[in-house]
Amino acid sequence: MAIDPVELIERHQTETPFVDNLSDELRRLANLPASPDVPYLTMTIDWQPDGMQPNFRHGRRFFDQQREELLTAHGFEPHAPAHESLSADLDRIAAYLDGEVAPAVQGLAFIACSAHGVFEALPLGVPLSNRVILAPVPALRVLAKLAEDEPPFAVLLADQKEATLLVVDQAARRQSVDLRSTGYPRKQDQGGWSQQRYQNRADERVEAFARTVAEETERELRETRVDMLVLAGNEQTTTTLRDTLHPTVQAKIAGMTRMALSTSERDVIAATLQIVEEAERVREQEVVRHLENGAGPGGGAVTGPEETLTALQAGQVMTLVLNEDVAMTGWADYTFPVYGVGEPPAEHPVGGDPAALVAVPLEEELVRLAIQSDAGIEIVRTRPPVSDDSIAESTPGDSSPRTDAARALDAFGGVGALLRFALDEDHSTAEL
């Protein structure tokens, strides 16, 4: 057996200006107290620089327009608590944007309610759509989609002598591990060895190096809780590494790609982001297929807004599934709490004060309840790239192409859930 094949193992941590651990942030925000009388302001801003004017941000123009309109469009009485809180929130956002926003930031999210002392600014490494919502609770669907659609992933770029494991979060390196082999046996050491003996020793060194790389990869993925891995390098190396990795790590492989070790970090991230995105589209299709197969009495899934909301309130949901463009009307009484589909009813359904019933964007409430109950969230992309083979044929008069997964979910009102458990063979959910 060859000597220890590893000459060097170096670990690097990269500081970024982006919010760290978005999933934990979402849990905290989902549990903020409801405020029906003085709403939360949720604003997401596209902070990408203009290609022709690097110092100009279209998102800043969006904020300035919204700042003028928000205080008048919602009918808040001047000097009333809601007006005062919103005015203070907008002032704080303006001050933040006027400050030093790091050049690498591509998107910004703000959750604010001055009346409750809440002001959360979340700088991100990926762009967000310009959007604003006033509601009794933070609107978290866009951030949940980001956390689910573009999760941290790892890239293992290697050849027979060197390997680099990158952990990528929000399109930037978060940390890395570099490994370098001793190169044993060296050509000049061959001496009187036979060619076969030299080749055997070289093969032993390559296999031992692959085992060490596999062990470091398993450890790093376990410690960082990363669930996706891309293997990059020449075909022989990636195949060897794939076969050497622990089965739990093999299950996390999103794809393999040919790539030279000299490829720049920027190009590595750009190429592997596409692989991870394609893997996410496949996962969406699989989840929707499981939803279709499990729907029905006593099954492992529910469909439609009513049954999905009931399952969430009962703590049954393992994975919430909804189309990214679904929009539904709902209502809530946060004092109980109790929720429903459609417009607020004239009479309180559980005997409370009808004045406590408030209209809410139901899709946002479903996401918030899922986060609170530690359910997974799968937000299905509805508009595919033009070249995407998963585009379903449009129906007559429909000018908007949709993915197969989105069309299948459309049949259920755009929403459903995979369940942790069903109640019995005749009922999947409780009667709430």
Shared domain check, 330 and 301: yes
Shared domain check, 403 and 290: yes
Instruction: Sort 395 into a burial class: Cβ within 10 Å, 0-12 / 13-18 / 19+.
Output: exposed
In a domain, residue 145? The reply is no
Shared domain check, 301 and 217: no
Vertex 254: Cα angle to 235 and 7 (nearest 5):
55
Count Cα neighbours of 26 within 13 Å in the Cβ-side half-sphere.
25
Q: What is the per-residue pLDDT for 286?
A: 96
Do residues 111 and 29 touch, judged by C-beta distance below 8 A? yes
**In sequence order, what are the residues at sequence separation of 6 or more whose Cβ sits closer than 8 angstroms to the Cβ of residue 116?**
32, 33, 35, 38
Q: What is the per-residue pLDDT for 395?
A: 47
Instruction: Take residue 309 and report the two structure tokens written for it.
Output: 């909301």
- Domain of residue 385 covers 284-419
In a domain, residue 121? The reply is yes
- What are the tens digits of pLDDT across the range 271-308? 999 999 999 999 999 999 999 999 887 789 999 999 99
Shared domain check, 277 and 154: yes
Vertex 248: Cα angle to 244 and 254 (nearest 5):
85
DSSP state of 175: E
In a domain, residue 113? The reply is yes
In a domain, residue 30? The reply is no
Shared domain check, 307 and 232: no
Q: How many domains does the chain have?
A: 3
Q: Which CATH number does the domain housing residue 407 bear?
A: 3.30.1330.30
Shared domain check, 409 and 390: yes
Domain boundary pick from 91, 108, 135: 135
* Residue 158 region by backbone torsions, left for phi larger than 0, else alpha for psi between -120 and 50, else beta: beta
Q: What is the per-residue pLDDT for 2?
A: 45
* Residue 12 region by backbone torsions, left for phi larger than 0, else alpha for psi between -120 and 50, else beta: beta
Q: What is the per-residue pLDDT for 4?
A: 60
In a domain, residue 430? The reply is no
Q: What is the per-residue pLDDT for 1?
A: 44
In a domain, residue 424? The reply is no
Q: Is the pTM of this model over 0.85?
A: yes
Shared domain check, 369 and 359: yes
Q: What is the per-residue pLDDT for 390?
A: 45
Beta strands in 47-171 (DSSP E): 107-113, 118-124, 131-135, 153-158, 162-169
* Residue 351 region by backbone torsions, left for phi larger than 0, else alpha for psi between -120 and 50, else beta: left
Q: Which CATH number does the domain housing residue 240 bear?
A: 3.30.420.60
Shared domain check, 297 and 405: yes
CA 101 to chain centre: 23
Domain boundary pick from 73, 100, 135: 135
Q: What is the per-residue pLDDT for 397?
A: 47
Domain boundary pick from 239, 262, 282: 282
Vertex 240: Cα angle to 234 and 242 (nearest 5):
100
Distance of alpha carbon 123 from alpha carbon 144, whole angstroms? 15
Q: What is the per-residue pLDDT for 377?
A: 97
Distance of alpha carbon 9 from alpha carbon 13, whole angstroms? 14
**In sequence order, what are the residues at sequence separation of 6 or more whose Cβ sits closer than 8 angstroms to the Cβ of residue 378?**
148, 283, 284, 287, 319, 320, 321, 322
* DSSP reduced 3-state for 130: coil
Shared domain check, 341 and 314: yes
Shared domain check, 50 and 130: yes
Vertex 371: Cα angle to 120 and 105 (nearest 5):
40
Q: What is the per-residue pLDDT for 333?
A: 97
**In sequence order, what are the residues at sequence separation of 6 or more whose Cβ sits closer than 8 angstroms to the Cβ of residue 258?**
232, 233, 234, 235, 238
Distance of alpha carbon 301 from alpha carbon 303, whole angstroms? 7
Shared domain check, 415 and 290: yes
% of the chain residues with pLDDT over 90: 76
Shared domain check, 276 and 167: yes
- What are the tens digits of pLDDT across the range 311-324? 999 999 999 999 99
pLDDT tens series, the chain, 432 aa: 445 666 778 999 999 999 988 999 999 999 999 999 999 999 999 999 987 777 789 999 999 999 988 988 776 778 889 999 999 999 999 999 999 899 999 999 999 999 999 999 999 999 999 999 999 999 999 999 999 988 999 999 999 889 999 999 999 999 999 999 876 555 545 455 566 665 556 667 778 889 999 999 999 999 999 999 999 999 999 999 999 999 999 999 999 999 999 999 999 999 999 999 999 999 999 999 999 999 887 789 999 999 999 999 999 999 999 999 999 999 999 999 999 999 999 999 999 999 999 999 999 999 999 999 999 999 999 988 655 444 444 444 455 789 999 999 999 999 999 999 876 666 666 554
Distance of alpha carbon 403 from alpha carbon 42, whole angstroms? 29
Helix (H) or strand (E) holding 242: helix 235-244
